[in-house]
């Protein structure tokens, strides 16, 4: 059987889904689903609030923590006094932080953390974030002029797991964020950076498969094999876990 991949949903206040019938949605952008299916996985939505992930844990073979709204500074600064922090979803923050800590503690289930997901990973393990990149860089490479997507290069560390997966030292990435990793949590290593030095990828060396990327690989997997390889390797790790594991969900 194909591995089941849990994907954390965007919060219901984040979406621009248009519907004549419903005002709010828990949703995941299509590109995430396509990338997982292309790699041979079966997507499973994890609601962005509450503890449903605990019930789903026994059936999941891998987890993707998706992008989305800003992580609240309350989780790493003790306050939310920043004029540039946008659309905070505390329910989603709390849900994903709990899920992340469980996955890291068990060192068992493969996990891919994308954009906001990488930031949640760092915060969940005790790291901090820059709340607004323009506060620390004169030129912002990480968002377009309209605050949307932009493309920029990332430099992958030559000795990292990530370079063996992606097969390239320099990769072109879709980016659309204004927060970034500041102090790196214990147990995480830098795996890639942007030309301006902003951290673009983190790995957990003590975990079988735990990688965070600050960019959005799902945006270009259809036409960029380098980015699809990230999903391929992740889903393959989930498949191996599915074959080898027994008694899941009893932790």
End-to-end CA distance of the chain: 23
Would you state the structure tokens that stand for residue 218, as one six-digit string?
A: 């799902």
Q: Is residue 79 part of a domain?
A: yes
Q: What digits encode the pLDDT tens for the residues 84-143? A: 777 788 999 999 999 999 999 999 999 999 999 999 999 999 999 988 877 778 677 776
Q: Is residue 180 part of a domain?
A: yes
Q: Is residue 139 part of a domain?
A: yes
Q: Is residue 250 part of a domain?
A: no
Q: What pLDDT shows up at residue 250?
A: 43
Distance of CA 243 to the CA centre of its chain: 25
Catalytic residue annotation:
115, 216, 218
Crossing angle of helices 225-244/30-38, nearest 10°?
A: 70
Q: Which residues share a beta bridge with 113?
A: 65, 212
Q: Is residue 176 part of a domain?
A: yes
Dist CA 131 CA 127 (whole Å): 13
Crossing angle of helices 116-124/90-106, nearest 10°?
A: 70
Dist CA 39 CA 2 (whole Å): 10
Q: Is residue 90 part of a domain?
A: yes
Q: What digits encode the pLDDT tens for the residues 138-157? A: 677 776 777 677 788 999 99
Total structural domains in the chain? 1
238 lies in which domain range? 4-244
Q: What digits encode the pLDDT tens for the residues 37-73? A: 999 999 999 998 889 999 999 999 999 999 998 899 9
Dist CA 186 CA 51 (whole Å): 26
Give the mean pLDDT of the chain: 89
Q: What pLDDT shows up at residue 136?
A: 77
What CATH number has the domain bearing residue 32? 3.40.50.880
Q: Is residue 249 part of a domain?
A: no
Q: Of 75, 81, 176, 209, which is closest to residue 129 (Cα–Cα)?
A: 75
Q: Is residue 125 part of a domain?
A: yes
Q: What pLDDT shows up at residue 216?
A: 94
């Amino acid at each position: 059987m194909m591995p089941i991949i849990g994907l954390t949903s965007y919060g219901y206040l984040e979406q621009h889904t248009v519907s004549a019938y419903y005002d709010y949605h828990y949703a995941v952008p299509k590109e995430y689903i396509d990338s997982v299916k292309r790699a041979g996985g079966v997507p499973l939505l994890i609601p962005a609030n509450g503890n449903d992930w605990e019930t789903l844990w026994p059936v999941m073979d891998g987890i993707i923590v998706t992008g989305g709204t800003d992580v609240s500074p309350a989780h790493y600064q003790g306050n939310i006094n920043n004029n540039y922090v946008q659309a905070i979803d505390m329910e989603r923050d709390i849900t994903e932080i709990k899920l992340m800590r469980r996955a890291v503690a068990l060192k068992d289930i493969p996990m891919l953390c994308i954009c906001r997901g990488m930031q949640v990973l760092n915060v969940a393990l005790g790291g901090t974030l820059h709340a607004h990149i323009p506060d620390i860089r004169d030129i912002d490479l990480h968002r377009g002029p309209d605050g949307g997507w932009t493309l920029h290069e990332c430099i992958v560390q030559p000795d990292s797991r990530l370079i063996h997966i992606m097969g390239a030292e320099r990769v072109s990435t879709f980016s659309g964020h204004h927060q970034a990793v500041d102090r790196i949590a214990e147990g995480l290593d830098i795996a890639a950076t942007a030309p301006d030095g902003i951290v673009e990828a983190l790995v957990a060396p003590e975990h079988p498969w735990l990688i965070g990327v600050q960019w959005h690989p799902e945006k270009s997997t259809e036409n960029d094999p380098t980015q699809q390889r990230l999903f391929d390797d992740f889903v393959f790790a989930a498949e191996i876990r599915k074959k080898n594991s027994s008694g899941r969900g009893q932790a």
